[in-house]
Structure 1
Amino acid sequence: MLDDQPIPVLPRLSWPDVWGRRLDRHGLSAAVYDRPADAVAAMCGAHAQVLSAAEVSIGLRVAGATRDDVRTALWGERSLVKTFGPRGTVHLLPARELPLWTGALGALPPARNSMPADARLAPDQIDQVVAALAEALADAELTIDELTAAVAARTGPWAADPVVPAFGSMWPRWRQAMHLAAHRGALCFGPNRGRKVTYTSPQRWLPGFQPAPAPGALADLIRRYLHAYGPATPQQFAQWLSAPRRWAAQLFDSLADELQQVDLAGTVAWVPAGDTASAAEPPYGVRLLPYFDAYTVGCHPREQLFPGPAAQRALSGGQAGNFPVLLIDGTVAGVWHHRRCGPKLAITVEPLTPLTVSERRDLEDQAERIGRVLEGRPQLTIGTVIQGGHA
């Protein structure tokens, strides 16, 4: 009979440990990054559906940065790329990491298509659309209408059929594959043409660009995610990517030698192997995070990040990011909103509990920082935020 084997004791982390780690790694304990691309790499991409919000997200993490620095990184230096990232949503990603991101995102299992059967793209049609986009954008920056014409000319009139419901209108059929084309490295955003958005090929900006091999890219993405948002579970990683949970669990299992389990306040979660240290200091301080900030969207579980009344006030149907949030000591403690009127920036903050003297002082400093990022003169008001959540 074999002797009973001792049950291994997992390293233990508390929630204050975790909030401190995450704040440090996101550059939110202090603005610790020198360049926008470094900050974006640290947070695994900046959500950019609202580009001005992405400018604030990045600016808060880079010492002395303004929105103009972010725009220069994106359209001047091209150290950032605007494209479709996790969950098929618009993100800014570091240009140097685009091979990794496309290698990983292009390897995700096909998502369930909720469109009616007669409106869907078949797998071979998706391939045709992606190839058509790659060809059309190889030497051009095209608007969405120009892309529709180019794709239909290369595939067939079926690609332009207006069958996709979107924002009160109907989009052409091919647009179902737009984010997939970006994930496969065939498309990214180009600079605006007046008020019109354009798209181009990332190979025009990154000569020699190719998606990285999928196995290594997926492994690297998990390590980066766990560094920024860990300890975390495969299910939380799957939610962040909008990927199947079973697939994520199998992927974590395949990397068992590179990952490590920890005890997070009684729950088993994962970190990169050896990454079990607590934060150098406990979480502290006040931050104003904009719409869809990566910290708000990526940190789990929601009930820890949005404790008590914060869940009712700052979540939208359980979804994070729809409200700009007041962060105190790493967790959500209110909402805020800003409105520009010429050079003035009216900032209204609605705390969910009374602020201490030091928290009020930190909040005033944070409003000044938001003003510098957005290049406006801030006027802070403590009061009720009447604006609803962003769609």
Structure 2
Amino acid sequence: MTTSAQGRATATRSPAGRPADVSARPAARVLSTRELNRAVLERQLLLRRADLPVLTAVERLLGLNAQAPNVPYLALWSRLERFTIGDLTAAVEDRSLVRSPLMRATQHIVTVPDFRLVRPALGPLLRRVQRNAFGSRTAGVDLDALVAEAAELLAGGTVITRPDLGRLLARRRPGADAGALGWSVQYLMPVVHPAPSGTWNVRGATPYACAAWTGVRPDPTEGDLRLLVRRYLAAFGPASVADARAWSGLSGLPEVFDRMRPELRTYADESGRELFDLPDAPLPDPGTPAPVRFLPEFDAPLLAYADRTRMMTDEIRRRVCVGDAVAATVLVDGTVAATWTRTRTGGAVTLTVEPLRPLPPSTHDTIEAEATRLLAFTDPGAGERRVHLSSDR
């Protein structure tokens, strides 16, 4: 197979492994990295703050990472015009939004309809995560019986923390690892983590509640998988099959994309990789200005692709994504330019920006102004708020 960009764009294979017949396809339009950047910024509400209700925004974004309690709040603050902490907390408390292990087996907040869509599709991934992480620690445990007992314990709206559930399940399994049992449940059956867990500044043991009330099904339909692809492209496209798998952790996507090919539009990136998109999805002018934005840890545009160069260079990625951690970042002209941290000492709070590449002097005031607004959101009662912009590296 040729290694040229043109060859990579055309030498595709069918799901069965046979070379696909691409001779009749017209040459795909090549999208520049900057065009892809502006596309994701538009779809992720990062070109301008949107005047949207919280539920509408979370649905459009196809969920928010919620690995830490404040992360989804910071994500929405960067995207919405009149967002308050109470807006998101109220939606979690009234169960319009639910928090659960979803994409890549990490915690996300999604709408209830999206939970019904996404959770069945991710069932095989989550079971695989349980085997990889806890298989040796649950060897000899009847996992079907474990799930059945957990469902009984959580019946009727009962809420039990993960450590307590593990201890209860270990009672009938002498010598079993209670911690592994508790963790396994969230991968083997649909559960949600109800409020106040995951709300602003609330930490502690993770509570479990049975998710049956959401109407979630055990397995996805073909229609569910096709809709999930369309929703992913609406939120993150244009994107490759590998990108969609990196975002979700799902296997079997090449076959789904191939069946959907007649209803999708195809492009190529500058390296020749095939990209898919919805026919009517927006592609902003690459010259569209992109404002400075502060993103929290694990923000979706940094994780939604196998090839992340539309958001940051490979060199910067290696400094932002270290092990399982993904730093809080600052976007300048649409791409990652710095990381940021927030520390509190007594009544004073300091936001420190650490550049990852030279920052034009003209952006310094804008960065400091946005940081000041962010501190007013996170720490309205602080006696003193400071912004420190470290020297360019």
Task: Say yes or no: TM over 0.5.
Answer: yes
Distance 1:11 1:109, change over 3 A: farther
CA distance in 2, matches of 1:63, 1:276: 23
CA distance in 2, matches of 1:118, 1:356: 52
Contact between 2:291 and 2:333, CA under 8 Å: does it hold in 1?
A: yes
Match of 1:331 in 2: 335
What's the CA shift for 1:261?
Answer: 1.6
Match of 2:363 in 1: 359
Contact between 2:97 and 2:109, CA under 8 Å: does it hold in 1?
A: yes
CA distance in 2, matches of 1:5, 1:198: 55
Contact between 1:309 and 1:352, CA under 8 Å: does it hold in 2?
A: no
What's the CA shift for 1:226?
Answer: 1.5
What's the CA shift for 1:340?
Answer: 3.1
Match of 2:244 in 1: 237
Match of 1:47 in 2: 65
Determine helix, strand or coil for the equivalent of 1:284.
Answer: coil
Equivalent residue runs for 1:114-263 within 5 Å? 114=132, 118-120=136-138, 125-139=142-156, 140-152=158-170, 156-157=172-173, 161-162=176-177, 171-173=179-181, 175-182=183-190, 187-192=191-196, 195-204=204-213, 206=214, 210=217, 213-244=220-251, 247-263=252-268
Matched, 1:347 2:365: no
Contact between 2:122 and 2:250, CA under 8 Å: does it hold in 1?
A: no
What's the CA shift for 1:274?
Answer: 0.9
Matched, 1:26 2:30: no
Matched, 1:373 2:377: yes
Q: 1:295 aligns with which of 289, 301, 312?
A: 301
What's the CA shift for 1:364?
Answer: 2.5
CA distance in 1, matches of 2:71, 2:55: 16
Contact between 2:44 and 2:61, CA under 8 Å: does it hold in 1?
A: yes
Distance 1:147 1:355, change over 3 A: same
What's the CA shift for 1:24?
Answer: 1.2
Contact between 1:10 and 1:262, CA under 8 Å: does it hold in 2?
A: yes
CA distance in 2, matches of 1:115, 1:106: 15
Distance 1:5 1:40, change over 3 A: closer
Question: Which stretch shows the higher mean deviation, 170-179 or 291-300?
Answer: 170-179
Determine helix, strand or coil for the equivalent of 2:267.
Answer: strand
Distance 1:203 1:59, change over 3 A: farther
Distance 1:305 1:131, change over 3 A: same
Match of 2:274 in 1: 269
Contact between 1:230 and 1:271, CA under 8 Å: does it hold in 2?
A: yes
Contact between 1:314 and 1:335, CA under 8 Å: does it hold in 2?
A: yes
What's the CA shift for 1:350?
Answer: 1.3
The alignment of Structure 1 onto Structure 2 pairs a total of residues equal to 360
What's the CA shift for 1:5?
Answer: 6.7
Paired residue type of 1:350:
E
Paired residue type of 1:271:
F
Determine helix, strand or coil for the equivalent of 1:171.
Answer: helix
Q: 1:310 aligns with which of 312, 316, 324?
A: 316
Distance 1:274 1:343, change over 3 A: farther
What's the CA shift for 1:119?
Answer: 3.2
Match of 2:15 in 1: none
Q: Between the two proteins, what is the percent identity of the paired residues?
A: 25
Equivalent residue runs for 1:7-26 within 5 Å? 7-26=25-44
Determine helix, strand or coil for the equivalent of 1:367.
Answer: helix
Distance 1:215 1:56, change over 3 A: same
Q: 1:78 aligns with which of 95, 101, 118?
A: 95
What's the CA shift for 1:289?
Answer: 0.8
Question: Which stretch shows the higher mean deviation, 343-352 or 47-56?
Answer: 343-352
Determine helix, strand or coil for the equivalent of 1:93.
Answer: strand
State the TM-score, normalized to the length of structure 1: 0.81
Q: Deviations over 1:327-373 (max 9, x none)?
A: 11221111111113466431100123343344223213321332243
Equivalent residue runs for 1:102-121 within 5 Å? 102-106=119-123, 108=125, 111=128, 113-114=131-132, 118-120=136-138
Distance 1:332 1:115, change over 3 A: closer
Query: Tell me, which stretches of 5 or more residues in structure 2 are unaligned?
Result: 1-21
Paired residue type of 2:322:
S
CA distance in 2, matches of 1:150, 1:109: 22
CA distance in 2, matches of 1:40, 1:174: 29
Distance 1:283 1:219, change over 3 A: farther
Determine helix, strand or coil for the equivalent of 2:194.
Answer: strand
Determine helix, strand or coil for the equivalent of 2:179.
Answer: strand
Paired residue type of 2:26:
P
Distance 1:200 1:355, change over 3 A: same
CA distance in 2, matches of 1:84, 1:117: 18
Distance 1:114 1:299, change over 3 A: closer
Match of 1:279 in 2: 284
CA distance in 2, matches of 1:289, 1:229: 16
Matched, 1:62 2:68: no
CA distance in 2, matches of 1:116, 1:48: 22
What's the CA shift for 1:174?
Answer: 5.2
Distance 1:5 1:49, change over 3 A: closer
What's the CA shift for 1:177?
Answer: 3.9
Paired residue type of 1:347:
L
Determine helix, strand or coil for the equivalent of 1:91.
Answer: strand
CA distance in 2, matches of 1:118, 1:352: 41
Distance 1:118 1:362, change over 3 A: closer
